[in-house]
Amino acid sequence: MVTEGGTIGSAATLDAIRVFVALVAVAALAAIVVRRLKIPYTLTLVVLGLIAASVLPRGAFSVTPELVLLVLVPGLVFEAALRIEFDELRRTFGGIALLAAPGVIITAAIVALILNVATGLPPALGFVVGAMVAATDPVAVLAEFRHLGTPRRLATLVEGESLFNDGTALAVFVIAVQAVQTDVTWAEAVVSLAATVAASLFLGLATGWLASRVIASVDDHLIELTVSLAAAYGTYLLADAVHWSGIVATVVAGVVIGNYGRKLGMSPRTEEALDFTWEFMAYLLTAFAFLLVGASITVGELVAALPWIAWGVIAILVGRAVVIYGLLGGVSRLPAFGGAGRISIGWLHVLFWAGLRGAVAVAMALSLPVDFPQRALLQQITFGIVLFTLFVQGSTAQRVVVAAKAVERPEPLVDPVL
């Protein structure tokens, strides 16, 4: 509302607009600078967020879990899912399923065990931390691997894991929090998790199919883009409203539209507009996500939690090693695969180091109930782990890919069965 003096009546609205414009300007300037300095763009954004959190008055702008999970994540995972080719997803689905389901639970359990033995943190609280940091974050992983020139199947394995296991981790996180606050048996937790994932898959298939049919029925790229936007955020919000996994549902919807929808009735102009528009949206959302990750972390509070953070970092590295080299690498070498399904040790190294954590882990930490036991400590452990993976693993990921010789080459390294 505009007053007689020409000012906007709602101060909150004006502040939100100012923050949005400032974030866009900072993201653009950062992109220009890092192109000249050749340093990781996402790490620069996190540093800028940390600086902003230290310089600006506390509470100048708040980073809420709703902002990350309802505004940033749906668009990011939908754009990534649009680019996944179904044939490649099918060939690597066995590996993705291992990493996205048992991999998440194994990592969470290892984190809980190590934190309990090393620091005395109760196992139930350690498992909550494990759930928050168990999944590789699509915001972080996709931003770091998009331009590395890795083979398509390896990229699909990395992207597919990062997309699907966030949904699993969120479901495990909700159950873990409930287990601390109420009496939830392991049997009930497993049934709840399986039901949530299955229902979310079905919802994503239904909304993706419906959106694809609507897109095929019109021949206007603007309308078709609008339908894709409604499908991305509508699927997430619908799943969230019924307490299912919005990430899983949105990923499935994106895969359906990106494959079935394209073949059903998209014109070349629509495909080009769809890819360009969602690439631009993902670029902006990625920039916002990393700026907000940095802005939500207070460096001073991390220092006091350094012993717990150090053990947490050790725990996630151990958990990642067990899942990648033991679970995935071991299964790919079973006699049932006849040796043809082996994933090369170089690829396993890349997958191990690709376990970055980011905005989704931060959002889960922020969403812990105010009266949750040792809430501040659990948040600082999570924030510290996120910073370690972004700065240490994120800044060296390209070197690992090159050293592992995980570059594009004609012969397949992952068997279709896996």
Query: Would you list the DSSP string of 365-388?
Result: HHTS-TTSTTHHHHHHHHHHHHHH
Distance CA 305, CA 378 (A): 9
pLDDT digits (tens, 9 = 90+) for 163-218: 888 888 988 998 899 888 887 777 777 788 888 889 999 999 999 999 999 999 98
Residue linked to tokens 């695969």: 337
What percent of the chain shows pLDDT beyond 70?
Answer: 86
Better-predicted residue by pLDDT, 143 or 25: 25
Q: Which pLDDT score is estimated for 86? A: 86
As a whole number of angstroms, the longest Cα–Cα distance in the chain is 79
Both tokens of residue 337? 């695969």
Res 250: pLDDT: 94
Tokens of 85: 């080719």
- d(C-alpha 240, C-alpha 66), whole Å: 11
b/e burial code for range 65-97 (CB count within 10 A of at least 16 → b): bebbbbbbbbbbbbbbbbbbeeebbebbbbbbb
Give the pLDDT confidence score for residue 137 in this predicted structure: 76
Q: For residue 409, what pLDDT is reported?
A: 46
Please check the confidence at residue 416 and state whether its pLDDT lies above 60: no
3-class secondary-structure state, position 159: helix
304-320 mean pLDDT: 95
Contact 72, 246 (CB under 8 A): no
If one counts every other C-beta atom within 10 angstroms of the C-beta of residue 413, the result is: 15
pLDDT above 50 (res 414): no
- What pLDDT shows up at residue 5? 46
Q: Answer yes or no: is pLDDT of 48 > 80.
A: yes
Res 326 pLDDT > 90: yes
Contact, 386 vs 133, CB < 8 A?
A: yes
The one-character DSSP state at 132 is: H
Span 3-15, average pLDDT: 57
CA torsion through residues 24, 30, 35, 40, sign? negative
